[in-house]
Structure 1
């Protein structure tokens, strides 16, 4: 959450009314709406996605934007999804049905359903086509793994970055708060001319005018925002005040719940932020840390998912038969920790990607995991020790690293998507441009 090559007509094979049956209505013929490199978006696909988004917005009690605005937003989202899917396939990344089934089972359990069948029945009762839901989840999984590999794995956070961040936070108020936020982002292409930049600013001004005119933030976000959460009302949830980018933090300091910021300019574009609520937070001092090591086999254009998985399975079999984990890591791991026998040191919550952390947290001390997949490839993980640690000072620095990583990652991922979009061949064949 995949490819249809140059579909001319998906419904053309259905019978054309014959002269002997003039009473039959002609069957609507599907058509190509957008060409995205060597793939297409058809009118049927677009209509189905718009219908799905409409159901979601109505369920959230969000006022619907005009049909043409909603269609444009959905179409742009589908273009980005196609491009990510193409990039993932070309670079050897895929999500197979078994991995998808595990994720859907976890979603069902998180939503308190006794089984996937019960979850599916509920979705279909609400008008969601389960097959389409599966593919949307597959697309989301691909997006998360691409972000981990292409963006998060390449971020560098220096100690100087942390020092500067902490120094800045000491001068700001609200360090013990969490803020519930929603935002609208108008993306500005990297090489945009002055005239184009003004066009995007005008669009942001139009969005702000609608907000000040009384339209709901969710409705305006759905109609104007280029962010991934646009069709979810622009809500980005609760964020610690000391983890916000300075651009947002300075404006939010002066705002009350319910207020909307002026237009904010960042390297990626224009932003409008709404403060939904504030609450105090208690900063934990004692946390559980895990000392772990791992073996990583990466996937690439030359190494498929199955090849990487098979190689790691062979390594696991050797370890199960008594081979030394550290020695196998030195010989085979493709992570920077290989020279240390795969040793990652003491890890705090949030330091690794969710798939890795979930696999690690499920293990007992001394236990070796099954094969765990993340955006970086396939892992074997072994937990060596666990401890409760008072990390008052180090935790403060780690929280700063996580905060810097979060907003650097958000900006870098938007920039990566923008570059992916700019490099693509996209041709609109009909309306909703």
Structure 2
């Protein structure tokens, strides 16, 4: 496995225990449990709903916000479980699996984002009433959902060179490199082919919410109780976006907001939206430090223990010290399929794209020098730094940023439409 981090975007930075998904399917059925929803070929159990409710309540309490009415919160949580369940069923039918190694790295990354070691993370989950094993399965499900979305939504999105050129030539293209916004959203939904009466009712509801917000109502609280958006239970927060990543007219409107302000209701294909600017920050540098590095990776297995793997890494290190060719040994011994055939070479890499253990050893190794054997979540490594450089990748970076922005803009719209479609087409029977 390549040492570059490739985590799902669905794994958001989390308060401990707060945003981990509760079991959306295949949860243990306890005694006196009962079905609360039939979802196509699966069911949602009362215990699943209660577990998720407790976690959502913990998340809301950790933010110091008031809880929505119990029936409103229960309906929001159940609806989210239904949509998650549908995506998990699609993932199962599509054969999507998360390897144990990849899942282990995801758990380490979540712990690091909370400034914890894995053991500290395990203890913190325990204090919050969550087992580490349950948390692993929750993360596995979120990763599956992310991959389902990539296959069903992201892969259908096409961005042409002409679109990139037009974007870079636009005012928004210039702004995309300079400012980024942290946003929250409230969505008042409209079905496809909504009647004029339904449109008017939704518009009145959105206008009333806007009036309440102008009078000081809490945006997160209203999002949790009134929004139909995918992030309603996180107070509507959708994370950081550049203006160019937002669908019109939000790309223009958000740029005109001050922190804390909310847009007036805006009609989109999904319904009426109110967007709040939570924070903003400047653009990032186009000059990047890169390292040319190669490595040999050895992984413990059923036929080779961790201790035997470490001893083999030490022997290979001695052979390299004695002058044997790095590329030849990498092709013979390395268990990183992404680099072994290239003599262990990872090419020129951004250190920030590597796992922490690899990045730290690499930073302490001089050019043209070998590292001593060291351990990462993937196994035991020996690396050699072949060179360092500062790369001004302005043009390539600008084009990549533009493509990403256009993809994200299209993805947000496509995702909401796709989620609505699979929900509308599914057989769902609730029993609350």
TM-score using structure 1 length = 0.68
Pick one of 35, 39, 43 that aligns with 1:40: 43
Q: 1:162 to 1:362 in 2, by over 3 A?
A: farther
Between the aligned partners of 2:200 and 2:30, the Cα distance in structure 1 is: 41
Name stretches of at least 5 consecutive residues in structure 2 with no aligned partner.
1-20, 294-329, 342-346, 368-376, 379-384
Pick one of 81, 84, 87 that aligns with 1:84: 87
1:221·1:234 contact (CA, 8 Å) conserved in 2?
Answer: yes
Between the aligned partners of 1:347 and 1:240, the Cα distance in structure 2 is: 25
2:177·2:284 contact (CA, 8 Å) conserved in 1?
Answer: no
Partner of 2:124: 122
Quick check: 70-79 or 41-50, which moved more?
Answer: 41-50
2:179·2:242 contact (CA, 8 Å) conserved in 1?
Answer: yes
CA-to-aligned-CA distance 1:208-252 (integer Å, 9 cap, x gap): 343234221111111122333222222233333444333212212
Match of 2:249, SS?
A: helix
Partner of 1:277: 279
Partner of 1:428: 430
Deviation at 1:156, TM superposition (A): 1.0
Quick check: 227-236 or 190-199, which moved more?
Answer: 190-199
Q: 1:131 to 1:191 in 2, by over 3 A?
A: farther
Q: 1:242 to 1:423 in 2, by over 3 A?
A: closer
2:61 aligned with 1:58, yes or no?
Answer: yes
Pick one of 98, 103, 112 that aligns with 1:100: 103
Between the aligned partners of 2:259 and 2:249, the Cα distance in structure 1 is: 18
Q: 1:422 to 1:385 in 2, by over 3 A?
A: farther
Q: 1:73 to 1:391 in 2, by over 3 A?
A: same
Q: 1:128 to 1:204 in 2, by over 3 A?
A: farther
Deviation at 1:422, TM superposition (A): 1.6
Partner of 1:253: 255
Partner of 1:212: 214
Alignment of 1:191-340 (within 5 A): 191-279=193-281, 281-287=282-288, 320=332
Deviation at 1:49, TM superposition (A): 0.9
Partner of 2:144: 142
CA-to-aligned-CA distance 1:298-324 (integer Å, 9 cap, x gap): xxxxxxxxxxxxxxxxxxxx96489xx
2:71 aligned with 1:49, yes or no?
Answer: no
Report the aligned-residue RMSD.
Answer: 4.3
Partner of 2:318: none
Deviation at 1:414, TM superposition (A): 1.9
2:168·2:174 contact (CA, 8 Å) conserved in 1?
Answer: no
Deviation at 1:286, TM superposition (A): 1.9
Q: 1:5 to 1:249 in 2, by over 3 A?
A: closer
Between the aligned partners of 2:386 and 2:249, the Cα distance in structure 1 is: 41
Q: 1:85 to 1:283 in 2, by over 3 A?
A: closer
Deviation at 1:407, TM superposition (A): 1.4
Q: 1:282 to 1:95 in 2, by over 3 A?
A: closer
2:186 aligned with 1:184, yes or no?
Answer: yes
Pick one of 65, 68, 81 that aligns with 2:71: 68
Match of 1:87, SS?
A: helix
Deviation at 1:57, TM superposition (A): 0.7
2:170 aligned with 1:168, yes or no?
Answer: yes
Partner of 2:5: none
1:222·1:230 contact (CA, 8 Å) conserved in 2?
Answer: yes
Partner of 1:19: none
Name stretches of at least 5 consecutive residues in structure 1 with no aligned partner.
12-28, 293-317, 330-344, 351-356, 366-371, 374-382
Deviation at 1:39, TM superposition (A): 1.3
Between the aligned partners of 2:184 and 2:190, the Cα distance in structure 1 is: 19
Q: 1:163 to 1:79 in 2, by over 3 A?
A: same
Quick check: 203-212 or 149-158, which moved more?
Answer: 203-212
CA-to-aligned-CA distance 1:13-32 (integer Å, 9 cap, x gap): xxxxxxxxxxxxxxxx3322
2:172·2:243 contact (CA, 8 Å) conserved in 1?
Answer: no
Deviation at 1:427, TM superposition (A): 0.8
Between the aligned partners of 1:426 and 1:79, the Cα distance in structure 2 is: 8
Between the aligned partners of 2:387 and 2:162, the Cα distance in structure 1 is: 30
